[in-house]
Amino acid sequence: MKKLIKNMCVIALLLHTIHTAYCSTSQTDTLTTGMKMPNVDMGTLENGVPLGKFSQQAARLVILDFMNSSCSSCIAALPRLSKVAKKFGKDIQIYPVTYEDRGRMAKMRKLNDIIAATDLNFIVEDKNLKTLFPHQTVSHVVWILDGLVKGITHVEYLDEKMVNTMLKEGRLDVPQKNDFKTFDYSKSLKDMHYPLRSYAALTGYIPDADTKFGTDISSDSSIIREYMINVPIISAYMHAYGKITRLPYMKADRIIIESAHPEKYSYASDRDGYEEDWLLKNAISYEFEFTERNSKDKRMRSIIQDLDNRLHVKTSIEKRMIDCWVIIDGKGKSKNMHEVGQSKRDFVFMAELNRVYPVIMDESTLENKIPARSHKSFDELRS
């Protein structure tokens, strides 16, 4: 194995030049799956023996493994290929095919332990076969059964299971290797006709729209679209987290922004001037379309993760130590004292709206009302 690694380091510098020279082949008269293999000259083996015409091959299944000695993964696959060839005997013939000359392969037999150990015969100095099956990367494996090209795959599929399937069923239900695809990478995935598992888009403030959160469901329920238009970043997160868990009133004391530029995430009148001007600069518009029937919880978690990635932040709901007021069970002056007034929930909410008061935590068990209007201060409520 050490010889293999050492050899790869030595020849790596030549890889680009060799690869370019080998792969700059014309696609004229090339073969694809389903076509008949012409009766071409198969070339010469590394021992100098000519193979003759394709029609002279006795095996039902002929496999051409285009490779070269600069490809470490190609070489690493040789022991498996040798094992497969022995397993199926005369029914199969595997030929590693290379453009390299006999001298090069003879040298590699001496320097590389894996190549030295394989009993597969290399087709060397290939010119004809690479023209029929042009490619840009190796390994490039061609399966020819009973004279018909049945598949062109990556070498990982060349194993006992796939060979057995090919011999019995005459087909391979695996991805076909194609090094000359015509995909238009300039187009958005959303503009194509491929089904999207999900789709998300993020932009800034949209002048023609109001601030809005919403959910749209297609008529056949196949697409669920969650959207937020012209919202502060903090509000976007609060919306998503609020769908996952019940949040208290999220006043400023409950929101911790650890950033060199907190003004990007949340508005503060004493710092940011006019709120509308701030929204124009910092608000976001976002949508996420789901095509899988996910729960609301899962959709919101996906949105949070996606926003984190797009905005380069890390958000969480967590417990931290802060100054706060706590409502606990106490000793009232009268049992009937708390039969009128605000509910605790309303009292806490209204109190927290006042920026003067800190966060209020309700740890009491009583459900009595709080007669806040009959008291002049919080100190009186304590009695």
For the chain, how many residues are written? 383
d(CA 205, CA 210): 10
CB 55 within 8 A of CB 131: no
d(CA 290, CA 292): 6
Q: Is residue 145 part of a domain?
A: yes
| Closest C-alpha among 68, 126, 123, 114 to residue 93 | 123
CB 97 within 8 A of CB 42: no
Host domain of residue 139: 2-169
pLDDT at 238 over 50: yes
Name, in order, each residue with C-beta under 8 angstroms of 81's C-beta and a sequence gap of 6 or more: 65, 94, 96, 118, 120, 155, 158
Q: How far is CA 149 from CA 51, 81, 152, 169, 256, in A?
A: 19, 19, 8, 14, 64
Least confident of 25-29, 245-249, 268-272, 353-357: 25-29
pLDDT of residue 332: 58
Helix (H, G, I), strand (E, B) or coil at 165: helix
Looking at per-residue pLDDT, the higher value among 48 and 363 belongs to: 48
Strand 140-145 relative to strand 61-66, pairing: antiparallel
Q: Same domain for 328 and 290? A: no
**Using one digit for the tens of pLDDT, what is the confidence trace for 147-156?**
999 999 999 9
Q: Same domain for 32 and 159? A: yes
Least confident of 75-84, 158-167, 170-179, 250-259: 250-259
Strand 359-362 relative to strand 324-327, pairing: parallel
pLDDT at 86 over 70: yes
Name, in order, each residue with C-beta under 8 angstroms of 65's C-beta and a sequence gap of 6 or more: 74, 77, 81, 94, 95, 96, 97, 139, 140, 141, 155, 158
Q: Same domain for 113 and 155? A: yes
Number of structural domains the chain divides into: 3
**Using one digit for the tens of pLDDT, what is the confidence trace for 100-138?**
999 999 999 999 999 999 999 999 999 999 999 999 999
pTM of the model: 0.56
pLDDT band at 375 (very low <50, low <70, confident <90, very high): low
CB 158 within 8 A of CB 141: yes
CB 291 within 8 A of CB 195: yes
Quick one: tokens of 149? 């090209």
**Using one digit for the tens of pLDDT, what is the confidence trace for 170-226?**
999 999 999 998 878 787 767 777 777 788 999 999 988 999 999 999 888 888 999
Q: Same domain for 35 and 114? A: yes
* Residue 4 buriedness (CB in 10 A; 0-12 / 13-18 / 19+): middle
Domain end (from 264, 283, 311): 311
Q: Is residue 181 part of a domain?
A: no
Quick one: tokens of 33? 């799956």
Percent of the chain with pLDDT over 70: 85
pLDDT at 6 over 60: no
| CATH code of 155's domain | 3.40.30.10
| Closest C-alpha among 22, 113, 36, 32 to residue 72 | 113
Task: Round to the nearest angstrom and report the end-to-end CA distance of the chain.
Answer: 83
Q: Same domain for 339 and 373? A: yes
Helix (H, G, I), strand (E, B) or coil at 324: strand
**Using one digit for the tens of pLDDT, what is the confidence trace for 320-332?**
888 888 888 776 5
CB 328 within 8 A of CB 363: yes
Q: How far is CA 137 from CA 242, 265, 376, in A?
A: 50, 47, 82
pLDDT of residue 3: 43
What mean pLDDT is reported for the chain?
85
d(CA 352, CA 248): 10
Q: Same domain for 22 and 117? A: yes
Q: Same domain for 196 and 295? A: yes
Q: Is residue 347 part of a domain?
A: yes
pLDDT at 336 over 60: no
Averaged pLDDT, 289-313: 92
Q: Is residue 184 part of a domain?
A: no
Domain end (from 250, 285, 311): 311
Strand 212-217 relative to strand 224-231, pairing: antiparallel
d(CA 307, CA 184): 27
Domain end (from 134, 169, 204): 169
Q: Same domain for 245 and 284? A: yes
Q: Is residue 373 part of a domain?
A: yes
Q: Is residue 319 part of a domain?
A: no
Percent of the chain with pLDDT over 90: 59
Q: Same domain for 150 and 251? A: no
pLDDT at 26 over 80: no
pLDDT of residue 337: 46
Q: Same domain for 216 and 277? A: yes
Q: How far is CA 292 from CA 4, 191, 223, 259, 277, in A?
A: 47, 19, 7, 35, 38
Q: Same domain for 29 and 138? A: yes
Q: Same domain for 306 and 361? A: no
Strand 61-66 relative to strand 92-97, pairing: parallel
pLDDT band at 254 (very low <50, low <70, confident <90, very high): confident
Q: Is residue 244 part of a domain?
A: yes
Q: Is residue 67 part of a domain?
A: yes
